[in-house]
């Protein structure tokens, strides 16, 4: 009799493709999101702003300078979607992606397969929320396929009130010992956030940190982890998800824990 050991995946971390599979494809483009699904990511993460004509565009920076370097720089909030979509946001990464356009929130939601998730990061203020709500609610996705994430505490608070059906995670990073774990827990409680999206900083995140977040009732997610050894450490600590530019590499690195 041969016994085959199968790893228990019940508590495995889910893998979130940061700005899509952004190591190999231009970030925040349909190519990057489709590549993430091909690489078997459990979720994609994308960044969103409101345009001048009240559309929701998927782009990380306030302007197009970095991701459309060959064209005159546009400020996202001062440009229409049509103006933004005239730019090539693929060539800067690799000529094979020439002609890639800035997608809308609807376009990105439309790539999410059944059973997979999307982390929608809000990069602007609360003005996006009433525009975003009908788009998310009519996306055809189930409530548990969508999580909203944001650094801005006011956006987290208002998003939870307006769309209580979705998880809303507060994002934070660290500088000179701030924020402290006590103030993180206080923010999670005050904003009624569903969890913490934490910068993947192993000098901050240890057993005690994880225990405090768990005790607060929030889920702990980490970003952006591209190093297999670090990913293994976060998996051992029991984080809920790992956001990475390299979903295939990080999945493999934690597969046999």
Show the tokens assigned to 31.
């190519």
Give least dist CB 48 to ligand G3P, A: 10
**Of residues 181-220, those binding ligand G3P (CB under 6 A):** 197
Of residues 62 and 142, the one with the C-beta less far from ligand G3P: 62
Show the tokens assigned to 45.
């993460």
Contact between 28 and 102 under an 8 Å Cβ cutoff? The reply is yes
**Which residue in the shown chain puts its C-beta closest to ligand G3P?**
223
Does residue 33 interact with ligand G3P by CB under 6 A?
Answer: no
Best CA proximity match to 186, nearest among 174, 201, 199, 196: 196
Three-state SS string over the chain comes to CCCCCCCCCCCCCEEEEECCCCCCCCCCCHHHHHHHHHCCCCEEEEEEEECCCCCEEECCCCECCCCCCCCCCCEHHHCCHHHHCCCCCCCCCCHHHCCCCCCEHHHHHCCCCCCCEEEEEECCCHHHHHHHHHHHHCCCCCHHHEEEEECCHHHHHHHHHHCCCCEEEEEECCECCECCHHHHHHHHHHHCCCEEEEECCCCCCCHHHHHHHHHCCCEEEEECCCCHHHHHHHHHHCCCEEEECCHHHHHHHHCCC
Of residues 47 and 100, the one with the C-beta less far from Ca ion: 47
d(CA 68, CA 41): 26
Of residues 80 and 125, the one with the C-beta less far from ligand G3P: 125
Show the tokens assigned to 222.
């980490």
Does residue 42 interact with ligand G3P by CB under 6 A?
Answer: no
Give least dist CB 121 to Ca ion, A: 4
**Out of ligand G3P, Ca ion, none, which partner does residue 240 contact, by CB within 5 to 8 A per kind?**
none
Does residue 26 interact with ligand G3P by CB under 6 A?
Answer: no
Does residue 245 interact with ligand G3P by CB under 6 A?
Answer: no
Task: Give yes or no: 221 in active site.
Answer: no
Q: Which of 18, 93, 160, 233 binds ligand G3P (CB under 6 A)?
A: 18
**Out of Ca ion, ligand G3P, none, which partner does residue 116 contact, by CB within 5 to 8 A per kind?**
none
Of residues 45 and 88, the one with the C-beta less far from ligand G3P: 45
Q: Which of 27, 88, 121, 158 binds Ca ion (CB under 5 A)?
A: 121
The one catalytic residue among 13, 15, 18, 169? 18
Does residue 42 interact with Ca ion by CB under 5 A?
Answer: no
Does residue 246 interact with ligand G3P by CB under 6 A?
Answer: no
How many residues make contact with Ca ion (CB under 5 A)? Answer: 2
Does residue 118 interact with ligand G3P by CB under 6 A?
Answer: no
Which residues of this chain interact with ligand G3P, rule CB under 6 A?
18, 45, 47, 60, 121, 149, 171, 197, 223-224, 243
The set of catalytic residues is 18, 60
């Amino acid at each position: 009799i041969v016994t085959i050991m199968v790893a228990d995946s019940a508590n495995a971390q889910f893998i979130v493709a940061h700005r899509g599979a952004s190591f190999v494809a231009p970030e925040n483009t349909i190519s990057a999101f489709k590549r993430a699904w091909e690489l078997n990511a459990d979720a994609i993460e994308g960044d969103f702003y409101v345009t001048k004509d009240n559309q929701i565009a998927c782009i990380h920076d306030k302007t197009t300078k970095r991701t459309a370097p060959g064209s005159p720089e546009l400020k996202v909030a001062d440009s229409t979607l049509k103006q933004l979509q005239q730019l090539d946001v693929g060539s800067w990464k690799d000529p094979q992606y020439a002609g890639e356009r800035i997608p809308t929130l609807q376009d990105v939601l439309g790539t999410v397969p059944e059973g997979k998730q999307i982390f929608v990061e809000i990069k602007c203020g609360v003005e996006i929320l009433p525009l975003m709500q009908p788009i998310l609610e009519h996306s055809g996705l189930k409530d548990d396929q969508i999580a909203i994430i944001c650094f801005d505490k006011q956006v987290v608070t208002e998003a939870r009130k307006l769309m209580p059906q979705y998880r809303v995670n507060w994002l934070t990073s660290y500088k000179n010992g701030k924020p402290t774990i006590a103030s993180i827990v206080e923010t999670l409680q005050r904003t009624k956030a569903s969890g913490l999206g934490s910068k993947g900083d192993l000098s901050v995140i240890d057993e005690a940190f994880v225990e405090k977040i768990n005790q607060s009732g929030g889920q702990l997610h980490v970003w952006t982890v591209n190093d297999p050894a670090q990913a293994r450490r976060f998996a051992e600590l029991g984080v809920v998800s790992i956001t990475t530019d390299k979903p295939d590499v990080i999945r493999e690195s934690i597969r046999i824990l």
